[in-house]
Amino acid sequence: MSSSLPRKTFADVRAALLARREIALLDVREEDLHARAHPLFAANLPLSRLELDVYARLPRRDAAIVTLDDGEGYAERAARRLLALGYRDVAVLAGGISGWRAAGGELFRDVNVPSKAFGELADATRNTPALDAKAVKELLDAEANVIVLDVRRFDEYQTMSIPAAINVPGAELLLRASSLAPNQETTIIVNCAGRTRSIIGAQSLINAGQPNPVFALKNGTMGWTLAGQTLEHGQTRRFGPVTESARQKAAARARRLAECAGVQWTSLAEIEAWKNQDGRTTYFFDVRDTEEYAAGHLPGFRSIPGGQLVQETEMSAPARGARLVLFDDDGVRANMTASWLAQMDWDVYALTLFDATALTERGPWQSPLPPLPDTPYVQPAMLSDWLASADPPAVLDLTAYANYQRGHIPGAWFVLRAQLAEALARIPRASRYVLTCASSLLARFAFAELAAAASGKVFVLEGGSNAWKAANLPLEQRERLASEPLDRYRRPYEGTNNSAAAMQAYLDWEFGLVAQLERDGTHHFWVCGK
């Protein structure tokens, strides 16, 4: 391990967190390894994808960064790559995960832990009303005056949902609730897959003064499944438009909620000064629906729907202690989202503009990237010819394992970019090597590494596997794994084939998060409300 890179100890990082000094603690291992054990505020930014993600997630080049791993050497490699990308204050966590543990530091498992731990703290503090799966099923069967609102992303909802549930992603909840349940006697039940978003959603409505009876579905779709009840699949029930009167009432409630949490408000003029401020990171998030964002948004604002931002805060804003600015055009979603982030000890500002002429940018979010390396390309048709020849190339696919499973170029090997050298030793030698991923972006950044290690000539598939598919060339599903598929942790609350034991173990873990927060002691979380 090189001595030329600065080191930060457990005590250094803990002192920064306790003092609320801005710091980005980056776990640069693959997500599955990250999910096994990491410090509370360690954000997962895998070395494999560093160039694709880092400029968006750490926009300020003088941000204080500490990389960590568990002795694999990724932290040092990531630190050097960050320095090459222009970051100036980069250190490695001394001893990594093992050193953190040895120093008495608390380690957490799973992903998005700060948000989940906060949700459990909110529940423990406010005793959020909840109904279990059996009670909700009885209400639905009796056709009682009840409505179930599923606050997950639409794609999650479509995978599996409670019968009759309507999809209303988190930040939309207060804005849409009165329109969906205009009768104040209607009981509103809020659900997600597990616990966090159910708790946050239900408590949001209660704190904001929603007049309906409001409950969280205890343990979400996992609790429903564990109770032996049937879920629906492929549903498309979504919220509809709201009236101006309903928006105004929701906006007034959201404003009071934000005031309770200590949210601050800002202007376009002020945020312009923050965009290039030295010594302080500011994240700019548009918390509306992605379709609204694409139709028109403020320059420099990234699309992160509010419920997703609260659920995955460290993924979008890994610099703990940074400033957050949230935008909407209704006075509800930014304030509602900001209220929770403020309680998670973020310095958060809301910005609402009703003047659509300010929304001068169009289209989906485009992540900023370093300059793309020049590489020799091979076209899909030519690669097809090579594969059919007497001297076929070795194809290395750097895409996500889930994408690889769905279908890949015949003969392609699944490879984690961070393990390229080790993977190459498992692949039969070839006179030519072709790198691909979904779009070719990651392959271009990995080209130099493979070219330095491979025995033959190296090419990048132009347009990546997406171009191969667009050319209607054949795919296969037979797997050739040159790397263990560690790029994604299998979440017990996603999908429909998880075991009951895994779901129960996950719920038991969530119940223990408040005690872990207390032992860790660096969070500064607090909970407002009735």
Residue 517 has pLDDT above 80, yes or no: yes
Buried b (16+ CB within 10 A) or exposed e, 408-447: bbbebbbbbbbbbeebbeebeebebbbbbbbebbbbbbbb
Q: Side chain identity at 514, as an amino acid letter? A: V
Q: How, if at all, do strands 23-27 and 64-68 pair?
A: parallel
Q: What distance, in Å, lies between the first and last C-alpha atoms of the chain?
A: 53
In the 3-class helix/strand/coil scheme, how is 459-496 assigned residue by residue? Answer: EEECCHHHHHHHCCCCCECCCCECCCCCCCCCCCCCCC
Residue-wise pLDDT for 201-239, tens only, equals: 999 999 999 999 999 999 999 999 999 999 999 999 999
Q: What is the mean pLDDT of residues 180-185?
A: 97
Whether residue 227 sits in one domain with residue 132? yes
CATH number of the CATH domain containing 281: 3.40.250.10
Please report which residue ranges of 20-63 form alpha helices under DSSP H. Answer: 31-36, 50-57
Whether residue 127 sits in one domain with residue 106? no
Whether residue 400 sits in one domain with residue 352? no
Per the structure, the complete domain to which residue 389 belongs is given by 377-470
Query: In angstroms, rounded to a whole number, what is the distance separating the alpha carbons of residues 507 and 500?
Result: 11
Q: What is the pLDDT of residue 5?
A: 96
Structural domain includes residue 484: no
| Cβ neighbours of 366 (radius 10 Å) | 9
Whether residue 218 sits in one domain with residue 202? yes
Residue-wise pLDDT for 319-344, tens only, equals: 999 999 999 999 999 999 999 999 99
Q: What is the pLDDT of residue 440?
A: 97
Read off the pLDDT band of 498 (50, 70, 90). Answer: confident
Structural domain includes residue 248: no
Whether residue 125 sits in one domain with residue 96? no
Query: In angstroms, rounded to a whole number, what is the distance separating the alpha carbons of residues 395 and 410?
Result: 9
Helix%, strand%, coil% for the chain, nearest 5: 40, 15, 40
Query: In angstroms, rounded to a whole number, what is the distance separating the alpha carbons of residues 211 and 184?
Result: 6
Dihedral over Cα of 294, 298, 300, 301: its sign: negative
Residue 163 has pLDDT above 70, yes or no: yes
Q: What is the pLDDT of residue 352?
A: 96
Q: What is the pLDDT of residue 66?
A: 98
- Give 496's contacts (C-beta < 8 A, 6+ positions apart): 159, 160, 231, 233
Task: Give the distance from CA 267 to its chain's centroid.
Answer: 27
Read off the pLDDT band of 2 (50, 70, 90). Answer: very low
- CB distance 311 to 112 below 8 Å: yes
Structural domain includes residue 509: no
Please report which residue ranges of 170-219 form alpha helices under DSSP H. Answer: 173-180, 196-207
Query: In angstroms, rounded to a whole number, what is the distance separating the alpha carbons of residues 324 and 322?
Result: 7
Query: In angstroms, rounded to a whole number, what is the distance separating the alpha carbons of residues 109 and 38?
Result: 6
Structural domain includes residue 133: yes
Domain boundary pick from 453, 470, 487 = 470
Residue 529 has pLDDT above 70, yes or no: no
Domain boundary pick from 60, 75, 110 = 110
Whether residue 94 sits in one domain with residue 18? yes
Q: What is the pLDDT of residue 467?
A: 98
| Cβ neighbours of 319 (radius 10 Å) | 25
| Cβ neighbours of 124 (radius 10 Å) | 16
Query: In angstroms, rounded to a whole number, what is the distance separating the alpha carbons of residues 295 and 223?
Result: 38
Burial of 26 (0-12, 13-18, 19+ CB in 10 A): buried
Integer-rounded Cα radius of gyration of the chain: 24
Whether residue 12 sits in one domain with residue 55? yes
Read off the pLDDT band of 493 (50, 70, 90). Answer: confident
Whether residue 349 sits in one domain with residue 406? no
Whether residue 429 sits in one domain with residue 384? yes
Structural domain includes residue 526: no
Tell me which residue of 304, 318, 310 sits closest to 45, measured CA to CA.
Answer: 318
Whether residue 283 sits in one domain with residue 230? no
Q: What is the pLDDT of residue 1?
A: 42
Whether residue 205 sits in one domain with residue 138? yes
Structural domain includes residue 530: no
Residue-wise pLDDT for 356-370, tens only, equals: 999 999 999 999 999
Tell me which residue of 190, 194, 193 sits closest to 173, measured CA to CA.
Answer: 190
Kindly list the distances between the CA atom of residue 160 and the CA atoms of 117, 153, 193, in Å, as whole numbers in the listed order: 24, 11, 9
Structural domain includes residue 386: yes
Domain boundary pick from 93, 110, 127 = 110
Read off the pLDDT band of 91 (50, 70, 90). Answer: very high
Q: What is the DSSP letter of 428?
A: P
**Percentage, residues of the chain above pLDDT 70:** 99
Structural domain includes residue 370: no
Buried b (16+ CB within 10 A) or exposed e, 170-182: bbbbbbbbbbbbe
Residue-wise pLDDT for 236-273, tens only, equals: 999 999 999 999 999 999 999 999 999 999 999 999 99
Whether residue 97 sits in one domain with residue 68? yes
Count of domains observed in the chain: 4
pTM of structure: 0.96
Q: What is the mean pLDDT of residues 105-119?
A: 97
